[in-house]
Chain A
Amino acid sequence: MDVTLVVFWILAGWAILSALLTVTRVNPVASVMWLVSTMFALAALFVLLDAQFLAAIQVIVYAGAVMVLFLFAVMLLNLEGTPRNWKRWPLWLLAAGVSGVLGAQLLVMGGYDRQRLADEFSTMPSPDPNLVFPDGRMMVDAMQSDGVVGAVARPLFEAYLIPFEITSVLLLVAVIGAVVLAKKRI
């Protein structure tokens, strides 16, 4: 039994449990808190998956800023959480069914590993994953040479510069839009 795997599943279980609780709480504040918990779990998983920079960003930006914004909104609206209306059970049944089917379809992905992906991507009989996917190796090398942050930053500012700039424009627009929408008088 691999320690990594055990840790992974413990963290995964935490994430899934938190997610379930997010979705099912009546009180919206409780929902927010459980979502924060989910995000922490995911951040830990990111670390496990060799994305340390992203783990930090997840905690700082997502859990720390976005969820706080949600909390502010909940508190501003002074919501209490209306009790469940059990008469809606047909819709719940349908929703559960649909989501279940969706989940089942996506669970197929769980059967993949690097060797099988390599099989599917290459036309050769039994390829070497490292040869089929050189990029993965390159990322590890980049992390060695530029550091964890640098491995993400260098492509960001070199190959993906334009999307980066567009994203900043997007943020500006979002800020203006949010301010205009939320103002009492324009």
Chain B
Amino acid sequence: MLLGPSLTVSAILFAIGAAGVLMRRNAIVVFMCVELMLNAVNLSFVALAQVHGVAGQLMVFFVMTVAAAEAAVGLAIILAIFRHTQSVDLNSINLLKG
């Protein structure tokens, strides 16, 4: 019964997270928006677990684990960049230019 509305909310949260990723300049905030998108997907999985069984909830489990690992490594990278360039502004990290 809650399947439809849950998927709706998930879609909205995903879109908000995507907008944040595209619009924000601060690298850490962008990262957080990525986490928001992952959460939205988690909601989707949980909603569909009621249809397709416990596999849905297990997927959430794994997603969370991987998200945690990714957050750790990603923040470490941002730290290393900050040590180099003294800034986490994505606009100024444009060494890939050209």
Contacts and interface: CB of A to CB of B under 8 A. Distances in A.
Direct contact of A and B (CB under 8 A): yes
Interface of A: 2, 4-5, 8-9, 12, 15-16, 19-20, 22-23, 28, 31-32, 35, 38-39, 42, 45-46, 48-51, 53-54, 57-58, 61-62, 65-66, 69-70, 73-74, 76-77, 79, 81-82, 85, 91-92, 94-96, 98-100, 102-103, 106-107, 109-114, 117, 129, 133, 135-136, 138-139, 142, 151-152, 155-156, 160, 163, 167, 170-171, 173-175, 177-179, 181-182, 184
Interface string B42-83: 111011011111110110111011111111110111111011
B76 A178 contact: yes
Interface in B5-38: 5-20, 22-26, 28-29, 31-33, 35-36
B11 A66 contact: no
Contact of B64 (A62, A79, A81, A151): A62
**Chief secondary structure at chain A's binding surface:** helix
Given A22-B20, A42-B39, A112-B3, A58 B64 contact: yes
Nearest to B15: A103
**Chief secondary structure at chain B's binding surface:** helix
Interface of B: 1-20, 22-26, 28-29, 31-33, 35-36, 39, 42-44, 46-47, 49-55, 57-58, 60-62, 64-73, 75-80, 82-83, 88-89
Given A51-B49, A174-B72, A12 B23 contact: no
Nearest to B86: A77
B57 A15 contact: no
Contact of B78 (A38, A73, A179): A73
Contacts of B71: 66, 69-70
Given A4-B1, A182-B76, 4 more contacts: A42-B43, A69-B72, A171-B69, A173-B69
